[in-house]
Chains A and B, each alone.
Chain A
């Protein structure tokens, strides 16, 4: 019910406009039609104007800078005067086995993150929705979003302490069951669960806010009639709440898919070790270790452009699928 009749309505309306114009004037020129449309809807364009001007001025105008991915860029010479090198930076990246490993690791971490991390805030918001005690609900919501405000350094420190083989709470608990202490942070097979778990723990509360807002937007009359029909809480959650917030979920999912090559660099740096590079090294940390972040803007731009292109291809695909099946889309 939430998905928009306007989507088709849009084309219908244009047809209507065209039809009425056709009545008024035979074969009106395109310019005239646009002029008419603008006269009627100028306020919409006025509303859009600041956003577009801002995007052009602050984001699109400096995008000429992307060309340094194809140049031997010297900050001193400037972008203009730096010589073109074609795809050399890309070749350098792709010639490197460790870069390919980093790409692979990034995708695996993101995919697992998507699988396990993406549903958590949704579940959390649905769970909050089922809490009746307002005081409890409010305090719990405030608390779960707190870790978002605590820097990665501190969160990582807490994780490292908790996983310490000698004094960490995790190994202490394992000890109760007679399990030998594990030096988790040096085990490649443990890195992904630790990293993804930390991410969920730190961010799920904050990420659930979007869904809380979506749930708040669901019309209460739907629940009222469901109660009358004798639906259980569980049924209402599945039959009303979830379908109503689906467009939001889809939008978030598409964006998340687009961020598949973006893995929180800071947290990886804090939690990984040479011993765990095998599973932990991601594109951003690879770039960092290559020393590329330090003034080698051209190489960093090449890696960034690669990320963006891959992300955008994925987003376009996801968006197309979504538009076909759910009529929700980013554009």
Chain B
């Protein structure tokens, strides 16, 4: 807040009002997480009966005990890390050079290639043909299939390409003079200048990997390879009462609600931890720090 004196009185009111509005919005968006956390520490019955509002009711660790003692939870957690880390790396390896090339004006057929990317954002083959294609490529039931099969996404390419295009030509001229190759220009000039964009795309890759479940469910045969989100769904199916057999939940230490909440809490924590690292790159001025115009 030290910088505040630099600004006029009007600025100061503007800044404070702004912070209040943000704080209100942030409190409202924090609520779902608080709710989930409270449910995860509540008794199965309280959660089922909708008695949890802000804090745990009948506080217990049973849901976590149940979740953490399941070997499949840890296996799927590990798998999610594998899919997320390797998948994101794979995505970036393909997307970054691709987007760079698509941003270059001298590329022949540049419009065509870009259109080809954009087209895939709306036209999808459908589930069965995609599945059969993956089978024909021998990518069913494999880590590699999941990692490579979803590496590229039109939106991320367009986003990144757009950022590359926004970088003024003047930055690369010096490098060009020195006879740098395209790879060198990308590596030495564009990448350092595009940290916010790369961070954004990285975050999007991580998040979509982290949350993705449908195709993992369809393509993976072996239960040992499923990611956490698929495990979460299996847990919900297994714990939901079917058939209406007697088993009342009134005395149950945990229920499908609390176990689900506990898994969600566990799955959100890594995302919470990662975000601040990427957030650094969204700070104003970071990108131009090293490069002088």
Please report the C-alpha to C-alpha distance between residue A300 and residue B127 in the assembled complex, in whole angstroms: 11
B125–A63 touching, CB < 8 Å: yes
A59: chain B residues within 8 A (beta carbon): 120, 124-125
Whether a CB of chain A sits under 8 angstroms from the CB of B245 is no
User: Contact flags (1/0) for B50-73 with A, using CB distance below 8 Å?
Assistant: 100000000000000000000000
The A-contacting residues of B in range 238-293, CB under 8 angstroms, are 261, 264, 267-268, 271-272, 275-276, 279, 281-288, 293
User: Contact flags (1/0) for A62-79 with B, using CB distance below 8 Å?
Assistant: 111110100000010001
CB-contact partner of A48 in B1, B102, B194, B293, under 8 A: B102
Whether a CB of chain A sits under 8 angstroms from the CB of B118 is yes
Interface of B is mostly: helix
Whether a CB of chain A sits under 8 angstroms from the CB of B4 is yes
B126–A65 touching, CB < 8 Å: yes
The B-contacting residues of A in range 218-246, CB under 8 angstroms, are 218-221, 227, 232-234
CB distance from B216 to the nearest CB of A (A): 15
B106–A10 touching, CB < 8 Å: yes
Please report the C-alpha to C-alpha distance between residue A308 and residue B21 in the assembled complex, in whole angstroms: 38
CB distance from B23 to the nearest CB of A (A): 7
Whether a CB of chain B sits under 8 angstroms from the CB of A20 is no
A65: chain B residues within 8 A (beta carbon): 125-126, 128-130
Given A4-B166, A132-B3, A217-B196; A331-B115 close (CB under 8 Å): yes
B186–A140 touching, CB < 8 Å: no
Please report the C-alpha to C-alpha distance between residue A64 and residue B182 in the assembled complex, in whole angstroms: 36
A131: chain B residues within 8 A (beta carbon): 15, 18-19, 22
CB-contact partner of B110 in A10, A62, A129, under 8 A: A10
Please report the C-alpha to C-alpha distance between residue A155 and residue B158 in the assembled complex, in whole angstroms: 30
CB-contact partner of B106 in A13, A147, A301, under 8 A: A13
CB-contact partner of B183 in A43, A161, A247, under 8 A: A43
Q: Which partner residue on chain B sits nearest A43 by CB separation?
A: B182
Pick out which of these stretches binds chain A: B75-83, B91-99, B218-226. Answer: B91-99
Q: Which partner residue on chain A sits nearest B124 by CB separation?
A: A304
Whether a CB of chain A sits under 8 angstroms from the CB of B237 is no
CB-contact partner of B282 in A213, A304, A331, under 8 A: A213
Given A146-B33, A155-B32; A45-B125 close (CB under 8 Å): no
Whether a CB of chain A sits under 8 angstroms from the CB of B105 is yes
A127: chain B residues within 8 A (beta carbon): 18, 21-22
Given A2-B166, A65-B128, A147-B29; A232-B152 close (CB under 8 Å): no
The A-contacting residues of B in range 210-230, CB under 8 angstroms, are 210-211
A60: chain B residues within 8 A (beta carbon): 120
Whether a CB of chain B sits under 8 angstroms from the CB of A180 is no
B165: chain A residues within 8 A (beta carbon): 4, 6, 247
The A-contacting residues of B in range 18-37, CB under 8 angstroms, are 18-19, 21-23, 25-26, 28-33, 35-36
Whether a CB of chain A sits under 8 angstroms from the CB of B121 is yes
B118–A330 touching, CB < 8 Å: yes
Please report the C-alpha to C-alpha distance between residue A6 and residue B149 in the assembled complex, in whole angstroms: 33
A47–B169 touching, CB < 8 Å: no
- Ordered by A's residue number, 23 sampled pairs between the chains whose C-beta atoms are within 8 Å are A9-B169, A10-B105, A41-B106, A45-B107, A47-B97, A50-B94, A51-B101, A51-B117, A52-B116, A63-B123, A65-B126, A142-B279, A214-B163, A215-B284, A216-B286, A216-B287, A217-B197, A218-B284, A219-B288, A233-B11, A251-B158, A297-B128, A304-B124
Additional A-B contact list (7), CB under 8 Å, known A47-B186, A48-B101: A50-B97, A58-B148, A65-B130, A127-B18, A142-B279, A258-B122, A330-B114
Which 7 residue pairs across A and B have the least CB separation, nearest first?
A65-B129, A51-B98, A10-B105, A331-B114, A47-B97, A62-B125, A216-B196
